[in-house]
Every structure is written in structure tokens, then in C-alpha cells.
Amino acid sequence: MQYRRRTELIAVDFEKELRTNFIGYNTPLTRWWNIRACNKSHCNAYRNIANYIITRIDPVPSLVIDYGCGSGRLLGDLAVRFVETKFIGIDGSSAMLKTAKTYLRKEVPDLLNRIKLLKAPLPNKILLGKRADLVTFTFPHILSNLYHLDLNSFLEFLTYSEIENTVILAEGVEELSKGQTDEDPDVLQSLIVNRIISKNLRSLVKRGGYCLRVEYANARREEFQNVFKKQFSFQEGSLVKSLSNRKIQQLFELVRSEYHRSKVMEDTYEQTGDESDKKGGYWISLLKALG
């Protein structure tokens, strides 16, 4: 797989773009992400992720779904390594999918018959003819109008138990963060949307199949305080014991999680301007789908 390094920068008003675009990256955001996604740090990360999948997923998956496939970099790397596997890339941005199609046609033209790209607002109820053996969700940058719904509206997507756990976790995170970081008024919405995303991911993978999540992080998972560990588990669907009186469904079992230092963390810093987001890397978390 050949990569072309691009060093040019693009100025993006993230606050404005993220406030006015709710259903997928538009052209300026797509240009920004494509420049980021093909730099040295990201290329190394995608190779690392693909190699991780090769060594951890057995048997070889017949179908892989890349949820929020972006510019198609991971799809290309995986298609080269899994020579008989079929792939579906799903994204909510027409501009991003156009970029992915252009990239894949150029880099892996002989493999396009095994790769299908679909447009769908994310998160969303997606019905496919077959569930995947593996679903991937890497470097999340999902925009959604769900961030602007009131709490009662989320009962369409979540159970009462999930709502209760969300509220308990949000209160715990906000209490622990007082005086340490700027207050984030979207903690509750972020928890809810991420839980809905995990339910999406579970609906796309067969029972006993795998979900591979790659997320920005500035420390190892075990180094975080307990409330944040519970937050991560709840969001990804691996929380075993409910924090409320109602039982909660466990969507996935966490198999393992690894931390890799990388300059990909600068993606987050470019959006927030927060110095604490400047250094770190990413987690690779492997989860097994439960019944």
C-alpha cells in the first residue's frame, strides 16, 4: 500500500462547522480529515491496526464492516491483507465517501469488487442482508443531530436503564472534573450518543463476532479513575453491572485493550485547543459480541 504524504494545512473553524453540520462532514471538514488521515502518524496507525486484526481475529472474517469509514484508509489496508474477505464501508458524509471512492480506485483498483461503500446518517438503524464477523470503528469523528435532542427523546433509542446509567455517569464525571478541566455541557449527550453508536455496532456484527474500536486517548485505560473506566465500559457496551436498580444489557465483552503512543492525538488538539489533548495516542480495544 503506497501513501502520499501531504503537509499542507487547512484552517477550519471547528466550533462553527460542528455547530452547523450535524449529519456528516462537509467539504472543509473532509479536506481537513483527509490531510490528517494520510500523514505519517495516521498511516503508521492504520498499518498497526490492520496488523493487529490479522494477528487477533481468527478465523479470517468473511465480511468486515467499517463503521464511519471516512476516507477509506483502513478499508484499503485490510483489503490488501484479507484477500478473500468482503468489505462494507459506511459513512454519513457524501463528501467523505467521495474521497474514499477516489482513494480506493487509485490505491487498490484490483480489489474494488470486494469493497462496497454505503451512505447512512450515523448513528442509525442499518439493516443489511448479513451480519459481519468483524465491525471496526476507528478514530471517531461522528456528527449527529442526536446531540440536540432532549433527554426524553432518547427513549426511542435507549432503555430506561441505559438512561439512568447515563445520568449517573454524567454526574460522576462532571463532579470529578470540577476545577480540573473546563466544564463540558455535552457530557450527558456524548454518553448517550456513544451508547447508541455501540448498539449500532452490535446490530451489525453476528453473535460471537468481534468489534474493534480505536479511540483517541492520552493515557492507558487502567490509569484512569474508576468513574471514567465505567464511562468507557458503558459507552462501548461492555459494562457488566448496572449503576442503577434496573438491569442493563451487556452488548460486548472486552477481550483486551492496548495503548499506543502516537501523534494522531493532535487531531483532538486541533479541534479543542486544549493542551491536555496535545499528547497521547490511541487505544485499540477488541470486544466480543454477546447474545
Q: Which of 172, 163, 189 is nearest to 248 (CA)?
A: 163
**60-89 pLDDT, tens per residue?**
999 999 999 999 999 999 999 999 999 999
Q: Which of 141, 106, 129, 137 is nearest to 22 (CA)?
A: 141
Q: Would 160 be classed as within a structural domain?
A: no
Residue 1: what pLDDT? Answer: 41
Give the residue, 21 or 278, on which the prediction is more confident. 278
Higher-pLDDT residue of 189, 2: 189
| Number of domains into which the chain is organized | 1
pLDDT at position 255: 97
For residue 36, is it within any domain?
A: yes
104, part of any domain = yes
Segments forming the whole domain that contains residue 71: 14-148+196-220+252-289
Count of alpha carbons within 13 angstroms of residue 264, beta-carbon side? 27
Residue 2 has pLDDT above 60, yes or no: no
**Domain assignment present for 282:** yes
Give pLDDT tens digits for 173-212. 877 766 444 445 578 888 998 999 999 999 999 999 999 9
- The residue that leads in pLDDT, 31 or 15, is 31
Residue 59: cis peptide before it, omega within 30 degrees of 0: yes
- The reported pLDDT for the residue numbered 23 is 57
What is the model's pLDDT at position 283? 95
Can you give the CATH number for the domain in which 37 is found?
A: 3.40.50.150
Would residue 186 count as lying in a domain?
A: no
* pLDDT per residue as tens digits for the range 114-144: 999 999 988 888 888 899 999 999 998 766 6
Q: Quote the CA–CA distance of 77 and 108 in Å, as a whole number.
A: 9
Helices (H), the chain: 14-20, 27-37, 40-56, 73-81, 94-107, 160-177, 187-204, 226-236, 266-272
User: Does position 281 have pLDDT exceeding 80, yes or no?
Assistant: yes
Q: What does the pLDDT read at residue 98?
A: 93
* More confident: 162 or 35: 162
Task: Evaluate whether residue 175 is within a structural domain.
Answer: no
* pTM (predicted TM-score): 0.89
Least confident of 80-94, 171-185, 207-221, 240-254: 171-185
Residue 164 maps to a domain:
no
Quote the cell numbers at residue 29.
Answer: 471538514
* Whole-number pLDDT of residue 276: 83
The pLDDT, as a whole number, for residue 271 is 78
Q: Does residue 176 lie within any of the structural domains?
A: no
| Amino acid found at 50 | A
Average pLDDT taken over every residue of the chain: 87
